[in-house]
């Protein structure tokens, strides 16, 4: 029963918030609200290792392309486009990336992955910071840093490596302050929720490392 309460509460809150924004009962932009709602569902489903996080995440990225374009956070806007691409890849890998094209299981990141990810991330952050300064980005270094961190985390997530949660947690701490400063209170609040959910996700995925969940393609169609 308790397992049903959380998604039910999230569904109810999602509907109420969307209607309130659409009807202008609250001073919130509808696009940002839809980004908030789909983002919360995406992370919740990811914590549960449910492959439906990918199509919802793709929708979330589309909404935030618009939100970040308006806020002149160009790197974050471009990041959402990459999320769409990685979303389709992650969708496939989670379904068919395991042994003999079975459902992918949670694992740890191989040393070989870190060997190219870390220097590439450092170089990309430096280069992107210089570029964003040249186009008058609102926060060039933080925008570049969080963009690269998010790409690394998203890549690790598509491969179902448990360390993705550590990167997300670090990025979310920065995002909360950045979006509050840019006048996006709902998005800042969303990332505060993300932060809490990422901590839960890390805990749940660590359990899966020890005792893998009984996941099948058919199981993804079942209730949360």
pLDDT at 32 over 50: yes
- The string over 81-103, giving b where at least 16 C-beta atoms fall within 10 Å of a residue's C-beta and e elsewhere, is eebeebbeebbebbbebeeeeeb
pLDDT of residue 2: 46
Higher pLDDT, 50 or 4: 50
Closest CA to 198 of 166, 154, 224: 166
pLDDT of residue 139: 84
pLDDT of residue 217: 46
pLDDT of residue 3: 54
Mean pLDDT confidence for 146-168: 94
Q: Which two tokens stand for residue 101?
A: 């094209």
Q: Cα separation of 207 and 203, whole Å?
A: 7
Q: Which residues contact 120 (CB under 8 A, 6 or more apart)?
A: none
In which band, very low, low, confident or very high, does the pLDDT at 159 lie, cut at 50, 70 and 90? very high
In which band, very low, low, confident or very high, does the pLDDT at 23 lie, cut at 50, 70 and 90? confident
pLDDT at 117 over 90: yes
Q: Mean of the per-residue pLDDT values for the chain?
A: 85
pLDDT at 193 over 90: no
Residue 160 gets the label, from left (phi > 0), alpha (psi -120 to 50) or beta, of left
For tokens 């932060």, name the residue: 195
pLDDT at 100 over 50: yes
pLDDT of residue 188: 87
Question: With pLDDT > 90 as the criterion, what percentage of the chain qualifies?
Answer: 42
Higher pLDDT, 214 or 193: 193
Closest CA to 193 of 20, 4, 26, 42: 42
């Amino acid at each position: 029963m308790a397992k049903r309460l959380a998604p039910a509460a999230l569904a109810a809150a999602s509907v109420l918030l969307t209607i309130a924004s659409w009807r202008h009962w609250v001073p919130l932009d509808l696009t940002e609200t839809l980004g908030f709602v789909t983002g919360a569902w995406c992370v919740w489903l990811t914590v549960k290792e449910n492959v439906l996080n990918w199509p919802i995440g793709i929708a979330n990225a589309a909404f935030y392309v618009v939100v970040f374009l308006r806020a002149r956070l160009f790197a974050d806007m471009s990041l959402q486009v990459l999320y769409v691409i990685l979303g389709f890849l992650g969708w496939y890998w989670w379904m068919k990336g395991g042994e003999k094209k079975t459902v992918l299981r949670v694992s740890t990141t191989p040393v070989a992955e870190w060997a190219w990810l870390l220097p590439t991330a450092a170089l990309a952050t430096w280069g992107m910071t210089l570029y964003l300064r040249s186009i008058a980005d609102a926060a060039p270094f933080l925008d570049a840093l969080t963009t690269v961190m998010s790409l690394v985390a998203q890549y690790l997530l598509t491969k179902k490596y448990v360390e993705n949660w550590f990167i997300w947690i670090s990025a979310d701490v920065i995002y909360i302050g950045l979006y509050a400063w840019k006048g996006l209170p709902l998005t800042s609040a969303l990332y505060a929720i993300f932060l809490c959910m990422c901590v839960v996700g890390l805990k749940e995925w660590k359990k899966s490392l020890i005792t893998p969940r009984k996941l099948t393609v058919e199981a993804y169609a079942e209730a949360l």
